[in-house]
Amino acid sequence: MRIAYFDCSAGISGDMFIGALLSAGVPFETLQRKLAKLALEDVRISHRQVKRGGLAAVKFDVKLDNKKSKTKRKRPPFGWEAMSGTIKNSALSEGLKKNGLAIIRGLFEAEATVQD
């Protein structure tokens, strides 16, 4: 078993978290294959090496390609219904769906607690 420990005392964003995973050795192609199973329309992901404050890191980006999009929306919906529906209707394994829904619910609950 491998354990990853993240010291996030100053916080961490989703792109920072995924960049850290890529830096730790998760193959980008594996991430692409798994995200493709979500069937997100017109979403492109990329990564590159960057240097910030003398430290090397992987910068992970998510872009919405509005040129191809039929709906011309600026960003996908981020509410619970939209996100949970995307996961439930995906081609991910049942185990990944269950874990993904639990993680997203935890993030929504944490955000609601912070906002109160």
pLDDT tens-digit map of 40-80? 888 899 999 999 899 899 999 998 876 655 555 556 667 88
At 70, the amino acid letter reads K
The pLDDT of residue 69:
53
Tokens of 43: 């979403």
Type and span of the H or E element at 100: helix 94-115
Type and span of the H or E element at 62: strand 55-64
The pLDDT of residue 100:
92
CA distances to 45, 49, 50, 60 from 91, in Å: 18, 30, 33, 23
Overall pTM > 0.75? no
- As a whole number, mean pLDDT of residues 28-42 equals 91
Given pLDDT bands bounded at 50, 70 and 90, which one contains residue 84?
A: very high
How far apart are the C-alpha atoms of 13 and 40, rounded to whole Å? 20
At 86, the amino acid letter reads T
